[in-house]
Chains A and B, each alone.
Chain A
Amino acid sequence: MLKVNDINVFYGAIHAVKQVSLEVTEGEIVTLIGANGAGKSTTLQTISGLLRSRTGSISFMDANIGAMAPHKIVERGLAQVPEGRRVFLRMTVRENLEMGAYTQKSNGISADLERAFTLFPRLKERHKQIAGTLSGGEQQMLAMGRALMSHPKLLMLDEPSMGLAPILVEQIFSTIVEMNRDGTTILLVEQNAQMALSVASRAYVLETGNIVMQGDAHELAGNEEVKKAYLGG
């Protein structure tokens, strides 16, 4: 479904992503783990078209999206929940969800709103509230609900557990599994490697811009090096 082939991404002279290749097959949950500054967000931003790779290619559902405008990529069914949520703080919860549905025909929006509210009942109670006044966990729910409004075939999530209490992290992860069961393929970026490896089928480990390990999520969770570096011994 998604094939990233040998991409190299730079910020000026900084070489942030080096010769990265990865693949996501339909129906999977794939995770990309790595420490701070490993290049995880840079990789996702490049897939979404916000940054450009100097080399290689990116294809999604057999179309080359490496040079496509970001909004066209979303139209094709590839959405992203960015790092730090980035909800529109001055707009209401409902307006945020409507923005998520920007690529959709307006007559289907109310059904999609209902679906988002069923998944996140908290958002329903607060649909008129300004997003800037939501708690961090609620903003994460909003960011996820908003991304779902575009009916993505593949959803990329960048550190959805960041800054959340353990109980909320559990909840967010079970929602991710639920969305996957409903047919959305997931590419999950996480620093919380333990949680990520427990829900994913396959994983990639990124270290200073290079993919240093990849394979079955279970096997990686049992791997000594991975344990030492990412699972706290």
Chain B
Amino acid sequence: MSFLSHLISGISLGSIYAIIALGYTMVYGIAKMLNFAHGDVIMVGAYACFFMVSRYEIPAVVGVLSAVVICTLLGIIIERLAYKPLRSATSLAVLITAIGISYFLQNAAQLLWTSNPKVFNSLMGDGSVKLFDGRLSISVTAIVTIVVCVIIMLALTWFTGRTKMGKAMRACSEDKGAAQLMGINVNFTISMTFAIGSALAAIAGVLLCSAYPILTPTTGSMPGIKAFTAAVFGGIGSIPGALLGGVLLGIIEIFGKAYISTQLSDAIVFVVLIVVLLVKPTGLLGKQVQEKV
């Protein structure tokens, strides 16, 4: 029974990684850049929700929606001010800028909200569902997390496969020059991708802090790095890859903690990543990317 219980915690944690990884992978797919500030957008979303719900006692739904709106705007602003001017710069310059933005957000959070940890009360309460005569207990938070992840995946699959904007994003991620010749506004499309990724980051922030309730200015960085790993693991640029990578990573981490060693669990995650990349450099579901000049 403890195996099942660990498996469910793993899938639940992995769902959070998957939602974050979607942001990395979509932005990479279209802008061919690693947005290292993505993890810190999660933190901003969590603070936004924390203040509204725990401090000002605004209804949880409104709190989450406001966090989503705030992060969406933040993502658009970061792209506009920091990354757009670097569209034709070297990838190293873009990477350093992204790391700079990451530190900027962390420091700004420290100034605004201090580094004292805030205790985030799960929006889903602390209830749980008992199965098998109470031998298996699953928290409502875990269930909601998994369900939200499934809904997001279905929505994104519909969006990229069926809507005009979603198809334009796929076209831009394949060939920006050709996309422009179709009359697609590439800058706007990139901006929308950042908006979606950041909106998902806000949701991930709320889910993360509902499961792990300590909120500090660096809350987003470790999950951010792991979700980035998950995106690479699944195949960067691939949406199903982000889901697969995220969920596997969550399961490996929880099983590593439970059966091998609590201290080594993060190391195990990265060992698995390295092994996968040695065998399949494009990640589990990654496509061979042909860079066009």
Interface set of A (CB-CB < 8 Å, partner B): 48-50, 69-71, 74-75, 79-80, 82, 86-91, 95, 98-100, 102-103, 106, 146-147, 150
In the assembled complex, which residues on chain B have CB atoms less than 8 Å from the CB atom of A88? 170-171, 174-175, 178
Whether a CB of chain A sits under 8 angstroms from the CB of B117 is no
Task: For the complex, give the distance between the alpha carbons of A70 and B186 in Å.
Answer: 9
* A and B contact pairs by CB, cutoff 8 A, 28 listed: A48-B180, A48-B181, A50-B181, A71-B180, A71-B183, A71-B184, A71-B185, A71-B186, A74-B180, A74-B182, A82-B178, A86-B181, A87-B178, A88-B170, A88-B171, A88-B178, A89-B174, A90-B174, A91-B167, A91-B170, A95-B170, A99-B167, A99-B168, A102-B164, A102-B184, A103-B182, A147-B181, A150-B183
Task: For the complex, give the distance between the alpha carbons of A106 and B171 in Å.
Answer: 18
In the assembled complex, which residues on chain B have CB atoms less than 8 Å from the CB atom of A150? 182-183
Within 8 A of A (CB), among B162-219: 164, 167-168, 170-171, 174-175, 177-186
Q: Are A91 and B171 in contact (CB under 8 A)?
A: yes
In the assembled complex, which residues on chain B have CB atoms less than 8 Å from the CB atom of A49? 180
Task: For the complex, give the distance between the alpha carbons of A86 and B290 in Å.
Answer: 13
In the assembled complex, which residues on chain A have CB atoms less than 8 Å from the CB atom of B184? 71, 99, 102
- How many of chain B's residues touch chain A, expressed as a range? 10 to 19
Q: Are A74 and B178 in contact (CB under 8 A)?
A: no
Main secondary structure of the interface of B (DSSP, over half): helix
Closest 10 CB pairs of A and B: A74-B183, A103-B183, A70-B180, A86-B178, A71-B185, A99-B182, A71-B183, A102-B183, A102-B182, A88-B174
Task: For the complex, give the distance between the alpha carbons of A168 and B278 in Å.
Answer: 44
In the assembled complex, which residues on chain B have CB atoms less than 8 Å from the CB atom of A91? 167, 170-171, 174
Interface set of B (CB-CB < 8 Å, partner A): 164, 167-168, 170-171, 174-175, 177-186, 287
With both chains docked as a complex, state the minimum distance between the C-beta of A178 and any C-beta of chain B, in angstroms.
Answer: 22
In the assembled complex, which residues on chain A have CB atoms less than 8 Å from the CB atom of B167? 91, 95, 98-99
